[in-house]
Structure 1
Amino acid sequence: MCAPRLNVYAVEDGVICKACGFGWDPAWGYRLTLNAATNQFFYTHLGYIDVKAGGYVRRGQFLGNIGDFSNGPTTNHFPPHLHFATRDGNALTYVRSCSRS
């Protein structure tokens, strides 16, 4: 769990995929999918997205921030957090390499 509105950054260079999941979803809040060279990364429970579907992002680029869902359909269901997942890779590799900012 974390503070709401904490910034979220790209873990790799890649393209934001619209067809793979982008925008608002009642269960996930704002979500986006980053297609990188060897992995696909999912970021959900965002409160704000600062990138466009189809856009190219660089590793470390600001993607958005974590939501608090105070005005959404999931109000008071979960404390603020980021759901981060990867396909075709090991998410722990990326989580362990991150430093707190």
Structure 2
Amino acid sequence: MRVLLKASMDTEKANEAIRNGTLGKLIEETAEQIKPEAAYFTTDNGARTAFLVFDLDDSSLLPSISEPLFQNLGAKITYAPVMNMEDVQKGLSRLR
């Protein structure tokens, strides 16, 4: 299932990760693990935030994806199922 991972980082913990050089490595390791089809980085509600869209094959992977972000960045994390245009069109065709 295609999902959107939103990770909003605690400012102080993210600042420390930038200072000690671990923020880039953590983002890279997360990307290697989930292989996102899209990754965007911005601010949301005043916090550094990552939006990653990826295919989640097994929900048992959620702890191994989430825990490094929780522990190292104090991140607030949400997951949501998402669709691309092709998925929406396929779903809508089933309504007819």
Of the two structures, which has the highest relative contact order with CA contacts closer than 8 Å and spacing of 6 or more?
2
Instruction: Please tell me the TM-score bracket, short chain as reference.
Output: 0.3 to 0.5
What is the TM-score when the length of structure 2 is the normalising length?
0.35
What is the TM-score when the length of structure 1 is the normalising length?
0.34
